[in-house]
Structure 1
Amino acid sequence: MTSIKITSKNAEKIAATGRKRWKIENEGFNRQKNWQGDITHACSWNDNALKNHYLMLQISDMIKQLYEWFYLKRNEIKKSQKNISSELLASFGQQLTREDISQNDMHSISEN
Structure 2
Amino acid sequence: MTRLMDNSTPAIQVAVGSGIATDIASYARRKLRVAIKHVHGSVISARVRLTRSMNPSVTEPLRAQVNLDIAGAPIRAQATAGTAVAAVDLVMAKIARQAATVGGRRLDHRCARVEERSS
- The TM-score, its normalising length taken from structure 2, stands at 0.33
For the pair shown, which has the larger CA radius of gyration, 1 or 2?
1
Higher relative helix content: 1
- The TM-score, its normalising length taken from structure 1, stands at 0.34
Higher relative strand content: 2
